[in-house]
Amino acid sequence: MTEWVDFRHVKEQVRIADVMRRYGVELGSSGPGCLRGRCPLPTHGSRDSVLSFSIDTGRNIWACHSQSCIAKRGGSIGGNVLDFVAAMERCSIRESALLLQRWFLTLAAGAPPAMKVRPETITENRPLEFRLAGVEASHPYIGKRGIQLSTARFFGIGYYSGHGILSGRVVIPIYSQSGRLIAYAGRSIDGGKPKYRLPPGFRKAAELFNLHRAASDALRGRVLVVEGFFDCMKVHQAGYPNVVALMGCSLSDRQGHLLTEHFDEAVLLLDGDSAGKRASDEIAVRLSGTMKICRCWLPSGRQPDELTAAELRGVIEGGIG
């Protein structure tokens, strides 16, 4: 039976600000009800249009004024939440509405806990044809984040002083599930925006960070799920190599499919803030019908990468029981 969706209801009930948070889009205030920042759309390739993207929370709409981005979207400047998700996922408006309905409305309507997880239509990330040279694993910033030199070298992270958009950032290589290098994430170390810089068009929702290692580990029956890159590295460093990161606090259908395809049990170790707790609840509901779920509760307001190895082990073992 075809899944029914009320387009008007989704458009009216889902707030554009909530959609931005789900995608990890960081925007700054530019006036009452208006937020502005870098365009997150895969159609945006301009390095000159730095603050071309904006949302109007009152009217519940978005826009990108980059001419190249507009051209790639057939002349459209912006639209509503349905248009945004359709552009991000490169899917139809119906598929966009179904995703928004599952993400924001289904749980509130009292949906049954066992939801089928299937891969959504997401453009596959292509392997990179280059590797960055001269990456400095011993940079002080990495040590300040609690990452040991051996861990930094294992994950291939380090400070990059070469040319390009990642210059002056700590770069983190991202691999596909088959172990092919597909992107570098660049972490700001001086408070610069954005906090993380990813290649234009890179689809975070299609990948799980560190999956290629975790899925080949001897303990592949169980996987720990965290939000960020440094969370993943700290948990790995604490003695749990079977860990993956969502690269955000939301789980896409594709990521859910990857989890159920490779593992029998997922241990959720998301941030201890309100967003992390809500995401943990949602993910537990979505996956509970397809795999065993355990949840670990961090101290309020804390993140895995802020805890010591001993604290992490205590939280994890307590959650696993």
User: What's the pLDDT at 192?
Assistant: 85
Name the DSSP class of 31: E
Domain ranges of the chain: 7-105, 140-201, 211-320
For the ranges 125-134, 231-240, 281-290, the maximum mean pLDDT occurs at 231-240
Range 242-256 average pLDDT: 92
**What is 7-105's CATH topology?**
DNA Primase; Chain A (3.90.580)
Using pLDDT thresholds of 50, 70 and 90, give the confidence band for residue 131. Answer: very high
How confident is the model at residue 220, as a pLDDT? 54
- At 218 the pLDDT is 47
pLDDT mean across residues, the chain: 87
286 pLDDT tier (thresholds 50, 70, 90)? confident
pTM: 0.64
Other beta carbons less than 10 A from residue 274's beta carbon: 10
The CATH classification number of 211-320 equals 3.40.1360.10
Q: What percent of the chain has pLDDT over 90?
A: 50
Q: Give the Cα-Cα-Cα angle 306, 152, 229 (nearest 5 degrees).
A: 50
Task: Give the angle subtended at the CA of 306 by the CAs of 305 and 309, to the nearest 5°.
Answer: 75
Cα separations (Å) of 167 from 128, 184, 197, 291? 17, 12, 11, 41
**Cis bond leading into 199, ω under 30°?**
no
> What's the mean pLDDT in 138-162?
97
pLDDT range class, residue 107, cuts 50, 70, 90? very low
Q: Which CATH class is domain 140-201?
A: alpha beta
Residue 283 pLDDT exceeds 80 = yes
Q: What whole-number distance in Å separates Cα of residue 29 and Cα of residue 140? A: 32
